[in-house]
Amino acid sequence: MDMIGQQLMNAVMLGTMYSLVAIGFSLFFGTMNVIHFSHGDISMLGAFIALFFVPIITQYSVLGSVIMFIGAIVIVAVLGIFLSGLVIQPLQSSPQLYTLLATLEAGLVIREAIRLFYPGGKMSQKFPIIFPSGGFSIGGLTIRFDQLFILAIGVAVFVATVLIVNKTSLGMAIRAYSQDKEASMMMGVSESKVIAVTFALGSALAAIAGILHGTYYREVIYTMGLTSGIIGFSAATIGGLGSIWGAIVGGYLFAFIQTSVSAFVPGGSEYRDVIAFGVMILFLLFRPTGILGERQSERV
Partner 1 sequence: MLEINGLSSGYGKIEVLHQINLHVDEGEVVSVLGANGAGKTTLMRTIINLIHARSGTIKYRGKDITHLKTHQIHALGIGIVPEGKRLFEKMTVMENLRMGCFLEKNERVIAERIEKAFDMFPRLKERKDQLSGTMSGGEQAMLTIARGTMSDPDLLIMDEPSFGLAPVLINEMFSIIKRISQEGKTVLLVEQNAWKGLEISDRGYLLQKGEVILEGKSSELKENSLVKKAYFSN
Partner 2 sequence: MNKLIVLLSETVLFALLILFLIAESVSITILFIVAGFLCAAAVLIFPKKAERIIKPFAKERRTAIIFSMILMAILPFFFTTQPYWLLTLSLAGIYIMLANGLNMQTGTTGLTNFSGAAFFGTGAYTTGLLSVHLGLPGWLTIPAGMFASVLIGAILFFPVLKVKGHYLALVTIAFGLMFNIMLNNTDAIGGPQGISGVKAFAIGGFDFSGMWAIGPFIFSSYANNYWLTLLAAILALAFTRYIYNSPVGLILNYVRDDEWSSKSQGLNISYWKLIAFCCGNALIGLGGALYAHMIGYVAPDLFSFQTSLLLLSMVLLGGMDSIPGVTVAAFVMIVLTEKLRVIQDYRFLIFGLLVIIMIIFRKEGLIPSRVRPYFPKLKSVLMKR
Residues forming contacts to partner 1 in the complex (CB under 8 A) are: 169, 172-173, 175-176, 179-180, 182-191
Of 121, 128, 171, 288, which lies in the binding site for partner 2, with binding defined by CB under 8 A?
Answer: 288
End-to-end CA distance of the chain: 50
The 10 Å Cβ neighbour count of residue 270 is 9
- Least separation in angstroms between CB 158 and partner 1: 21
Of 143, 148, 263, 284, which lies in the binding site for partner 2, with binding defined by CB under 8 A?
Answer: 284
For residues 210, 213, 39, 273, the Cα torsion angle rounded to the nearest 10 degrees is 170
Q: Which C-beta is closer to partner 2: that of 184 or that of 237? A: 237
Q: Which C-beta is closer to partner 2: that of 158 or that of 233? A: 233
Report angle CA 15, 19, 20 to the nearest 5 degrees. Answer: 120
Q: Decide if residue 21 touches partner 2 (CB under 8 A).
A: no
CA-nearest of 285, 226, 228, 196 to 23 is 228
- Least separation in angstroms between CB 72 and partner 2: 23
The SS3 of residue 168 is: coil
In the chain, DSSP assigns E strands to 125-126, 135-138, 141-144, 219-220
Size of the site for partner 2 (CB under 8 A): 41
Contact 242, 295 (CB under 8 A): yes
**132 secondary structure, DSSP code:** -
Q: Which C-beta is closer to partner 1: that of 174 or that of 204? A: 174
- Least separation in angstroms between CB 181 and partner 1: 10
Report angle CA 28, 29, 30 to the nearest 5 degrees. Answer: 95
The SS3 of residue 288 is: coil
Q: Identify what 61 binds: partner 2, partner 1, none; CB under 5 to 8 Å per kind.
A: none
Bridging pattern class, strands 141-144 and 219-220:
unpaired
The 10 Å Cβ neighbour count of residue 120 is 7
Q: Which C-beta is closer to partner 1: that of 185 or that of 284? A: 185
- Least separation in angstroms between CB 24 and partner 1: 21
Q: Which C-beta is closer to partner 1: that of 13 or that of 195? A: 195
Binding mask 87-126 for partner 2 (x = CB under 8 A): x--xx--x-xxx-xxx-xxx-xx--xx--x----------
- Least separation in angstroms between CB 283 and partner 1: 23
Contact 189, 176 (CB under 8 A): yes
- Least separation in angstroms between CB 300 and partner 2: 8
CA-nearest of 256, 7, 16 to 149 is 16
Contact footprint for partner 2 (CB under 8 A): 29, 35, 37, 86-87, 90-91, 94, 96-98, 100-102, 104-106, 108-109, 112-113, 116, 226-227, 230, 233-234, 237, 270-271, 273-274, 277-278, 280-281, 284-285, 288, 297-298
